[in-house]
């Protein structure tokens, strides 16, 4: 993503007036400020840089009422997964809860999005700046919006920017994020979900690949045998990025910072901690997430006193799908291949308890197969 | 019934005269917001002025991938 010069970030093209939907809305109607004041300093008093956050309905609701109302409960707005996971690890109200909440406000909640930060400008968390003047983009551009935030893992995986990996087969077919992640999914359906796996209209591989279990489909036997036993990613992902640790704090100027350890590449199959009717697979791909028992120590020692309540190896949906991968080259490329599975020895000592439910015991590793499908 | 056709014609033509949107773009061109934000020269001057006085927005202590 090309960086923008400071003036480019806020340059407005006169052609915005030709926008039949938004061209008739005066700047100050959404942003506030004084449009008649020639002094830019006083004119900007009370100006809202992003009038669509935190309340999406304030600027967009008059016309886009349903979308802006639903959006308030979408994961991009609520950041519910942070709250629910850190809440479980902290599991404390009172002073500890307040301190952690304050720390999350200073760090985690900076990563929200809004109508404006998808359709008009780059997200604030990556420096902001108009996507193209102040034009309203019906479809947010992938690299300036989606992968600008979801970059180090999803973006680089999808684009094949990690050394030794190829772009996703979907990328090779020129698909952008919205092909799977529709506007309806992004805007939310008005229900509040705890995480993306609960979202009812989230994409699923079989939405497009619906015929893989058909009698005449290619590899039908393999697909049928593994149906509901492994997630699609187990067979079709390449190795992916894993992150470790994360310590947050504020520097001497009061500015928030974070420090993470160097990320690493691996591919690990583990037990599905989110097994349900909708997600019945026993085996899923797991990714180590950037968290540490001392993440919030700057704010309060031992704030995450229930650190082991949630695994540090989390269900992953790597975005670097390939039809053929080393693990699906033959049955025994995976069956009996211990190195693909998250074993006890792969997990750091102090994280073993947290990951007890996802570590694959030796007796659950699928055995070598003598039979091979034709 | 001879008057029906002229009335319909008047209604149809009058629809073309009604603006489809309360479009007042011309007026907005004159606001200070527009005058400034559509001028790269002015924005360069102002953003330089801001850069000289505004303290750093991001901590230099951040390390690693987000």
Q: How do the pLDDT tens digits run along chain A, 374 residues long?
A: 899 999 999 999 999 999 999 999 999 999 999 999 999 999 999 999 999 999 999 999 999 999 999 999 999 999 999 989 999 999 877 888 899 989 999 998 888 899 999 999 999 999 999 999 999 999 999 999 999 999 989 999 999 999 899 999 999 999 999 999 999 999 999 999 999 999 999 999 999 999 999 999 999 999 999 999 999 999 999 999 999 989 999 999 999 999 998 899 999 999 999 999 989 999 999 999 999 999 999 999 999 999 999 999 999 999 999 999 999 999 999 999 999 999 999 999 999 999 999 999 999 999 998 877 66
Q: Which of B20, B31, B38 is facing A26, going by the closest CB pair?
A: B31
Test the A interface: residue of B38, B39, B55 with most A CBs within 10 Å:
B38
Closest to A310 (Cα-Cα) out of A98, A94, A84: A84
> What are the structure tokens assigned to A222, written together?
């393999």
Q: Does A257 touch chain B (CB under 8 A)?
A: yes
ipTM of this complex prediction, to 2 decimal places: 0.84
**Residue A154: which residues within 8 A CB-CB, separation 6 or more?**
A147, A319
How far is the C-alpha of B33 from the C-alpha of A18, rounded, in Å? 17
Rounded to 5 degrees, φ, ψ at A51 are -70, 0
HEC string of B27-66 equals: HHCCCHHHHHHCCHHHHHHHHHHHHHHCCCCCCCCCECCC
For residue A132, the cross-strand partners are A134
Test the B interface: residue of A24, A150, A240 with most B CBs within 10 Å:
A24
Given an 8 Å threshold on Cβ–Cβ distance, is B43 in contact with A11?
yes
- pTM of the shown model: 0.89
């Amino acid at each position: 993503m090309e960086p923008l010069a400071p003036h480019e970030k806020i340059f407005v093209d006169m052609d915005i007036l030709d926008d039949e939907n938004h061209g008739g809305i005066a700047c100050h109607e959404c942003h506030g400020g004084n449009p008649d004041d020639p002094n830019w300093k006083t004119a900007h008093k009370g100006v809202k840089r992003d009038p669509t956050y935190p309340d999406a309905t304030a600027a967009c609701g008059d016309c886009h009422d349903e979308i802006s109302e639903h959006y308030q409960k979408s994961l991009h707005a609520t950041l519910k997964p942070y709250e629910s996971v850190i809440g479980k690890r902290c599991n404390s109200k009172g002073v500890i809860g307040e301190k952690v909440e304050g720390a999350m406000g200073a760090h985690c909640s900076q990563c929200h999005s809004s109508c404006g930060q998808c359709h008009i400008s780059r997200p604030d968390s990556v420096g902001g700046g108009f996507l193209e003047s102040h034009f309203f983009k019906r479809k947010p551009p992938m690299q300036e919006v989606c992968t600008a935030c979801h970059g180090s893992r999803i973006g680089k995986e999808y684009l094949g920017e990690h050394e030794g990996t190829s772009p996703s087969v979907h990328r090779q077919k020129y698909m952008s994020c919205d092909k799977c992640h529709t506007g309806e999914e992004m805007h939310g359906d008005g229900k509040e979900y705890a995480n993306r796996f609960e979202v009812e209209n989230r994409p699923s591989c079989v939405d497009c690949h619906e015929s893989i279990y058909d009698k005449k489909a290619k590899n039908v036997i393999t697909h049928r045998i593994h149906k509901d036993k492994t997630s699609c990613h187990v067979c079709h992902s390449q190795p992916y990025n894993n992150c470790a640790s994360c310590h947050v704090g504020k520097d001497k100027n009061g500015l928030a910072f974070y420090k993470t350890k160097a990320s690493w590449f691996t591919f690990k199959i583990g037990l599905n901690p989110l097994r349900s009717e909708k997600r019945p697979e026993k085996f899923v791909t797991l990714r180590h997430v950037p968290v540490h028992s001392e993440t919030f120590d700057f704010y309060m020692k031992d704030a995450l006193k229930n650190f082991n309540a949630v695994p540090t190896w989390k269900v992953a949906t790597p975005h670097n799908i390939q039809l053929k991968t080393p693990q699906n080259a033959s049955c025994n490329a995976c069956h009996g291949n211990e190195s693909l599975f998250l074993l006890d020895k792969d997990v750091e000592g102090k994280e073993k308890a947290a990951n007890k439910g996802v570590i694959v015991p030796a007796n659950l590793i699928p055995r070598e197969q003598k039979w091979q499908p034709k | 019934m001879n008057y029906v056709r002229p009335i319909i014609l008047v209604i149809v033509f009058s629809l073309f005269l009604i603006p489809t949107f309360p479009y007042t773009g011309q007026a907005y061109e004159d606001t200070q917001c527009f005058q400034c934000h559509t001028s790269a020269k002015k924005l360069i001057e102002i953003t330089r002025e801001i850069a000289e006085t505004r303290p750093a927005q991001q901590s230099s202590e951040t390390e690693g991938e987000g």
